[in-house]
Structure 1
């Protein structure tokens, strides 16, 4: 499995074996919740539309895609020169209070905070300030190989800062939609506005509409609430680890669902065999 640039609670790297079995072939994978881009890095679609409401996340991915070498130089220098708790809070303060910070440097700061902050959590207060405390890691990992692999794969991708509603409005024939929203009952403060049960229900309604024309796959917590809002979907239960590189969390497990709904009527087009790559054409079903 390909690892990701960012540490991320709920990263799909560990469950790609189960998840891949539910992702059909298609011309483009659309993800309204970018997260760590684990699914993009571990699938082989011809194109990707990766979106997220967090502008810092999208800026990071754009900078890595478009300015790979300069980004590596700036980010590596930041990692090398700032390995104390005091320097972490100095970098975090500059990130939060300097609106004139160039986009390339903002992206490097975001990566630094992710890799040095507590468990890689991405969280903001109501003012929009990144507020994760120092993680006390002895040697934070600089993901050079992951950055280079991402930059190569990202040439197939378009990155958009957008709401899930705006992203789903961009879906077209031949697309496959995968949603990994903030989970019900956990990770709800991913961005400043939070993600409430009303948001969960609204998302489920939007996806139900999209599934009339395009395959939709969703991950979420396994709760009575999520099973209710996705009752029109085929649901598979899986058990996953709930830890982010911390030994104390290695044995923590949680139940999740993979909810799938595909259009009933479809017509065949030529696409990729995701297991074999771009040289292996297969017939897949796309909605009429």
Structure 2
């Protein structure tokens, strides 16, 4: 693809900047599988016949399915919220956040989810132990309504199936239903230091044991002819759990910090099980 496409969501850890470096290592397959689809930058900037895209966050998958089903109705409804005269105020934001945490209607939740994402702090998606969305107000001067990005996503989504599932469920599905798969994993990253645990972008945490299990699943998949690529921090721990893979080093600007001094370049790796 000649022009890179942006996701309509702001998303911590999104792969927009790295997509060219990552995708050049993709072998040619018919179906790209993503167990941690996030905002979908890899999906939007690759060209596979089919996509099987999963995430453990039901609000994210609900949003994607709503946009896929009827993007024009979704745009009309969401614009009313984005362009409300109080949309960019803390009071309005926290009222909508409270509404989101109470409402059950899938369409209304999808509208509120995009508003909270674009007006909340720094592309975070975070829930408390009661599974209530708790990202604070972003207090940005300007806001962009991603109409063009929504329409592009909806058109591309005709080739995609979106499911709410964890990586355990998805890998077992792949093993039980053989196809011409390529799997790309962008999990919550292993901490750069053991005391750092701010990789909880989706509800619960992602433990070191889960990191290890994902690496084992990748090795098992490779053994049955399914190539798997995994992005992560480049640390002693990740080097150890990916010791059976080919490792490619990447350097990326991390923008999740609250201050400019905390937004430093960090080393990432791409583990290739193929």
CA contact (8 A) 1:181 1:219 kept: yes
Which residue in the other structure is 2:139 paired with? 136
User: How far has the Cα of 1:247 moved from its partner?
Assistant: 8.9
Give the TM-score, by structure 1 length. Answer: 0.87
Deviations 1:178-218 (A, max 9, x none): 00000011553223321111111111111111111211111
Which residue in the other structure is 2:194 paired with? none
Is 1:71 the equivalent of 2:74? yes
- Give the alignment partner of residue 209 of structure 1, picking from 207, 212, 220: 220
Q: Which segment is superposed worse, 52-61 or 168-177?
A: 168-177
Give the TM-score, by structure 2 length. Answer: 0.91
How many residues of Structure 1 are paired with residues of Structure 2 in the alignment? 260
User: How far has the Cα of 1:230 moved from its partner?
Assistant: 0.7
Q: Which segment is superposed worse, 162-171 or 245-254?
A: 245-254
SS in 2 for 1:119: coil
* Structure 2 CA distance for partners of 1:141 and 1:244, relative to 1, 3 Å: farther
Is 1:112 the equivalent of 2:115? yes
Which residue in the other structure is 1:219 paired with? 231
Is 1:94 the equivalent of 2:99? yes
Q: Which segment is superposed worse, 153-162 or 67-76?
A: 67-76
Structure 2 unmatched ranges of 5 or more:
192-196
Structure 1 unmatched ranges of 5 or more:
263-288
Question: What value does the CA root-mean-square deviation take over the aligned residues?
Answer: 1.7
Q: Which segment is superposed worse, 242-251 or 198-207?
A: 242-251
Which residue in the other structure is 1:266 paired with? none
Is 1:189 the equivalent of 2:239? no
Q: Which runs of 4+ in 1 moved over 4 A?
A: 244-247
Which residue in the other structure is 2:65 paired with? 62
SS in 1 for 2:101: helix
Which residue in the other structure is 1:158 paired with? 161
Is 1:179 the equivalent of 2:185? yes
CA contact (8 A) 2:56 2:165 kept: yes
- Give the alignment partner of residue 12 of structure 1, picking from 12, 15, 31: 15
